Amino acid sequence: MADIETLIRIETKLDLALQQQADHETRIRRLESHGTESHGDRITTLERWRYTLPTCALLSAASIATAVISALR
Give domain limits for the chain.
Answer: 1-33, 38-73
Q: Is the pTM of this model over 0.85?
A: no
The Cα–Cα gap between 24 and 33 comes to 14
Mean pLDDT of all residues in 30-56: 77
The Cα–Cα gap between 11 and 17 comes to 10
pLDDT band at 47 (very low <50, low <70, confident <90, very high): confident
Long-range contacts of 33-40 (CB under 8 A, 24+ apart): none
Mean pLDDT of all residues in 4-15: 88
What is the per-residue pLDDT for 73?
A: 84
What is the per-residue pLDDT for 60?
A: 94
Of the candidates 11, 9, 31, 7, which has an alpha carbon nearest to the alpha carbon of residue 19?
A: 11
Mean pLDDT of all residues in 33-58: 78
Residue 33 has a CB neighbour count (10 Å cut-off) of 13
